[in-house]
């Protein structure tokens, strides 16, 4: 049973400029209704089946939140498997967005073959680590989450050929705005050509003044988000960080990387910068699988901790941004369950999508709808999204 729903972005356009942008959601936010009264084990098992997108991240978050609420400390191998499953899933998502969705949003053909090849490489490993990740205790054979060298090297080769044109580590080390522009101008890969085209035709598309989310470390979550989750009715529909909407995702995590910072200095928090951030994080994740540590790995991609006896929080990073699960458990049964997904941060009523589209100028409704779909794609909702243009 899937419970995703969909989004509709409405743009009130006066024939030249967007006067107002609004987001309507049919997402049911049914986790609490579905899970309350279930056993903690059932909740961890059911949650990933509710979501067709980012199922590994949802499963890791559910298991982590329930473990923390129950006071359980899973074995190190189980925790490593959850992180490996989430990272592999993120790589798959990035390759699909970069090689299929991004080209299609810009009127080009998708590159399906390398995406299919990546899925062939990842699928058997993901199945193995996911089986370990779903455990709540070390009750089977010794849990190990290893990525075969052939899979890691295969992903390096694939991204070198189809995404970066050079090994991912070399692309990351290229350094500054001049190097980024040269990479785009050489156009040795489809993503390079698309970035070059985007910078030439719409460099400020979707530019937003919404702040990037700070690192989701435990102390920051406890100080800013947890109190609001506990006290604000409907927080999961319109989440805020210290009272303000935030942009989550690759740009928030990668803003300090030299290539991303260079793009941000030129274009601000716009579509080109978000694309560079996505590329940079893909390169880092592929390098991590191949044994090249990130310069600054930041907080773990999968974290979970107790908030109080019987109350646990999981914070899981996904390709789209921060995913939070909060579970309350009493006598082995779920009494409360909250899920705050990345989509609700980026598609907040006053969030990055809305702020990035209000004031946008377009010569006609078709061009505006096309631009808006590219902004939507750059912020990457985890559900289907329709764009409607209405004459203001």
- What domains can you pick out in the chain, each with its CATH number? 31-135+148-362 (1.10.645)
Which residue in the block uniquely carries the two structure tokens 């743009």? 11
pLDDT given for residue 32 in this prediction: 74
pLDDT given for residue 295 in this prediction: 52
Question: What is the DSSP code (8-state) at residue 236?
Answer: G
Distance CA 66, CA 70 (A): 6
Number of continuous H segments (helices) and E segments (strands) in the chain? 18, 7
Find, among 177, 381, 345, 382, the residue nearest to 276 by Cα.
Answer: 177
Say what the pTM is: 0.94
Find, among 203, 199, 236, the residue nearest to 336 by Cα.
Answer: 236
- Strands in 321-330's sheet, in edge-to-edge order, are 302-308, 311-318, 321-330, 333-340
pLDDT given for residue 298 in this prediction: 63
CB-based contacts of 201: which residues, under 8 Å, 6+ apart? none
Contact 388, 9 (CB under 8 A): yes
pLDDT given for residue 357 in this prediction: 97
pLDDT given for residue 252 in this prediction: 97
Per residue of the chain (392 residues), give pLDDT as tens: 455 678 999 999 999 999 999 999 988 777 778 889 998 888 888 888 888 788 999 999 999 999 999 999 998 889 999 999 999 999 999 999 999 999 999 999 999 999 999 999 999 999 999 888 877 665 555 556 678 899 999 999 999 999 999 999 999 998 788 999 999 999 999 999 999 999 999 999 999 999 999 999 999 999 999 999 999 999 999 999 999 999 999 999 999 999 999 999 999 999 999 999 999 999 999 998 887 665 555 678 999 999 999 999 999 999 999 999 999 999 989 999 999 999 999 999 999 999 999 999 999 999 999 999 999 999 999 889 999 999 97
- Strands in 384-391's sheet, in edge-to-edge order, are 18-25, 6-13, 384-391
Helix (H, G, I), strand (E, B) or coil at 243: coil
Whether the CA torsion 365, 366, 371, 376 is positive or negative: it is positive
pLDDT given for residue 1 in this prediction: 47
């Amino acid at each position: 049973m899937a419970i995703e729903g969909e989004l509709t972005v409405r743009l009130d356009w006066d024939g030249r400029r967007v006067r107002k942008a609004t987001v309507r959601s049919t997402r049911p936010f049914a986790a609490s209704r579905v899970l309350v009264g279930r056993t903690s084990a059932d909740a961890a098992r059911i949650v990933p089946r509710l979501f067709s997108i980012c199922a590994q991240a949802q499963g890791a978050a559910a298991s982590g939140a329930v473990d923390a609420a129950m006071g359980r400390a899973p074995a190190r191998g189980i925790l490593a498997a959850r992180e490996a499953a989430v990272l592999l899933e993120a790589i798959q998502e990035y390759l699909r967005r970069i090689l299929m969705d991004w080209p299609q949003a810009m009127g080009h053909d998708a590159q399906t073959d390398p995406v299919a090849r990546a899925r062939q490489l990842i699928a058997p490993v993901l199945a193995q680590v996911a089986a370990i990740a779903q455990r709540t205790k070390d009750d089977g054979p010794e849990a190990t989450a290893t990525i075969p060298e052939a899979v890691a090297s295969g992903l390096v080769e694939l991204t070198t050929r189809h995404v970066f044109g050079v090994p991912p580590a070399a692309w990351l080390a290229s350094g500054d705005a001049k190097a980024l522009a040269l990479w785009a101008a050489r156009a040795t890969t489809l993503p390079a050509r698309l970035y070059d085209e985007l910078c030439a035709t719409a460099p400020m598309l979707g530019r937003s003044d919404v702040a990037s989310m700070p690192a989701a470390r435990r102390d920051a979550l406890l100080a800013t988000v947890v109190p609001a989750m506990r006290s604000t009715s409907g927080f999961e529909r319109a989440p805020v960080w210290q009272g303000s909407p935030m942009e989550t995702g690759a740009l928030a995590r990668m803003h300090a990387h030299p290539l991303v910072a260079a793009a941000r200095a030129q274009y601000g928090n716009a579509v080109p910068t978000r694309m560079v951030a996505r590329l940079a994080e893909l390169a880092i994740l592929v390098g991590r699988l191949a044994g090249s540590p990130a310069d600054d790995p930041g907080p773990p991609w999968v974290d979970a901790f107790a908030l109080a006896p019987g109350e646990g929080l999981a914070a899981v990073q996904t390709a789209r941004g921060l995913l939070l699960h909060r579970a309350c458990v009493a006598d082995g049964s779920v009494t409360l369950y909250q899920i705050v997904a990345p989509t609700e941060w980026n598609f907040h009523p006053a969030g990055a999508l809305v702020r990035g589209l209000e004031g946008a100028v377009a010569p006609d409704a078709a061009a505006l709808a096309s631009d808006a779909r590219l902004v939507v794609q750059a912020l990457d909702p985890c559900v289907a999204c329709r764009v409607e243009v209405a004459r203001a």
